[in-house]
Structure 1
Amino acid sequence: MGLLQTLTDWQDALYQRRIAKMESKGLCPDCRGKGYSLHINEYHYAPPEKCSGCEGNGSFTTWHEKSQQP
């Protein structure tokens, strides 16, 4: 097992823990239940965008249904 595989496994484990934590709270793992995401850039202001994972409502159920679609 190489270093790259170890890092990939570690990153996947962190992501799975975040999904489990957000599921227990009923919140979208992508935006953490806010419904929007911010793109911070030091050169210009970008307005918040609706979360594409939960369609802007912050719900885990919506995120889960959308992530199961092909």
Structure 2
Amino acid sequence: MGLFSSIKEWNKARQEKYLADMEAKGICPDCRGRGFDLYYPVEYYNTTPSVECPGCNGSGLFSDWTNQTGQ
């Protein structure tokens, strides 16, 4: 079980670093500040739909992402 706990700790540290980087830049970690998701899961990729980011409601700001997700 030591291997799995090491992987879990590494992944948690990586996620925390990513969130800290996004907070320092002031951009949403879900859409990376774009305000929309380019690759929305669809059954067929005939078109590339763009949908507002659910994390920041399309603003691309970290503060809106924090308010929306409660983190």
Q: Same fold (TM over 0.5)?
A: yes
1:59–1:47 CA distance, 2 compared to 1 (3 A): same
> In the comparison of the two structures, how many residue pairs are matched?
68
Q: 1:22-62: per-residue Cα shift (whole Å, max 9, x none)?
A: 11111001111011112278x51330111111111000000
Change in Cα spacing, 1:60 to 1:40, as seen in structure 2 (3 Å) is closer
**TM-score (norm: length of structure 1):** 0.81
Residue number in structure 2 paired with 1:58: 60
Root mean square deviation of aligned Cα: 2.0
User: 1:1-70 residue pairs with structure 2 within 5 A?
Assistant: 2-39=2-39, 44=45, 45-68=47-70
Deviation >4 Å, runs of 4+: none
Which SS does the other structure have where 1:19 is aligned? helix
Gaps of 5+ in 2: none
Change (3 A) 1:63 1:7: same
**TM-score in terms of structure 2 length:** 0.80
